[in-house]
Amino acid sequence: MRQVGRLIFHLFALGMVAYLLLPIVIAVLVSFTPSRFIEIPTTFSLKWYREFLEDTRWMNGFWNSVYVSGFTIVISFVVGLTAALSFARYELKWRTGLYTLALTPVFTPAVILGMSLLAFSHKLGLWGTYLSIAIAHSLWAYPLVFMVLKVSLEGLDPSIEEAARGMGARPWRTFYEIILPLIAPSVLVGILFSFIISVNEFVMALFLGTVETETLPRIIWPTLRYTLTPLVAAASGVLMLLTVVVLLLAAWLMNLRKLVEFSRG
């Protein structure tokens, strides 16, 4: 009886893995079809990727996504790092309340954020700029940077910083030469999160993007609704590739850092 229960539990887990993975696998597989129709290919072809690269609208969307994610990384890094420093080293009034407030945007549905920022950035004259989309994405990105850096800063040994100060280093130099290298892995993780959020975010980009600033997911959207071709799969494939490349780059940088540390002894 217990054996049967265990088997059912394993099968359930297997089903969950299939549910989480199959949609991604299918979308990637379809992108390699030579056919005009959406089907799992029997032969491998890069036809739809070539089509993607030759289409100026899709390529513009690709570059717009890259620009927006760049702005997002800068904004969420500045906001997240300063807030994390403040939380990690000082006793703050209403600490818990402030912390909850800082994380609130992540739990606000994207449609609400998108609509409110559309009306507001229109009022400010920001509508139609990369900045307006990057600000929206930062609302979801900076809380993650903040959380990751806060944990990392709180884990630092206070005596290291005191030693640097004791030897006469100014606060800025202490930060730049002692703290920053120590929290570098978390900084990298924060940047990575910001990038992935920005490149993949769609709903806020739908509200705030215009013809000049539309990001890749925003171009995929109408195509997905009205004209289903494998080109959408190829565009999705490009998005996934972009994410994977950045992930690998981060992993490589982390290892490189370890190598440098190792060679220094």
Partner 1 sequence: MPPTSVAKLRTWDTVGTPLSVSAYLARSHKYLLLLPLALFLSVFFVMPLAWLFRVSFYAHGGASGFGVSQVRYYIPNTFTFHNYALFFTDRYFRHTLFFTMELALIVTVVTMALAYPFAYYIYKATPKLKLLLLVLVILPKLSNMLVLIYGLQILLGNAGIINQLLSVLGVVASPVPLVHNLFSVVLGKVLLIIPYTILVITATLHTLDPALADASKGMGATPARTFFEITLPLSLPGTLVALLITMIWALGAFVSPSILGNPDLHTLAVEVPKQTFENVNWAMGSAVAFVMLSLVFVLVLIYNWLHHSRLPWHMRSGR
- Stretch 134-163 residues interacting with partner 1 (CB under 8 A): 135, 138-139, 142, 146, 154, 156, 158-159, 161-162
Beta carbon nearer to partner 1, 92 or 259 = 92
9 binds partner 1 (CB under 8 A): yes
Structure tokens at 33: 């079809």
Residue count at the site for partner 1 (CB under 8 A)? 84
Beta carbon nearer to partner 1, 166 or 265 = 166
Among residues 4, 19, 125, 167, which is the contact residue for partner 1, using CB under 8 A?
Answer: 19
Beta carbon nearer to partner 1, 13 or 256 = 13
CB of 80 to partner 1, least distance (A): 8
Residue 57: exposed, middle, or buried by beta-carbon count in 10 A (0-12, 13-18, 19+)?
exposed
User: Can you tell me the distance from the alpha carbon of 48 to that of 30, in angstroms, rounded to the nearest whole number?
Assistant: 10
101 binds partner 1 (CB under 8 A): yes
190 binds partner 1 (CB under 8 A): no
* Alpha-carbon dihedral 70, 185, 250, 58, rounded to 10 degrees: -20
251 binds partner 1 (CB under 8 A): no
Residue 223 near residue 110 (C-beta atoms within 8 A): no
* Distance spanning both ends of the chain, measured CA to CA: 57
- Span near partner 1 by CB under 8 A; candidates 36-44, 50-58, 181-189, 248-256: 36-44
Among residues 120, 176, 180, 256, which is the contact residue for partner 1, using CB under 8 A?
Answer: 120
Nearest alpha-carbon partner for 256 in 191, 155, 179, 188: 188
Residue 52 near residue 220 (C-beta atoms within 8 A): no
167 binds partner 1 (CB under 8 A): no
Nearest alpha-carbon partner for 239 in 208, 265, 205: 205
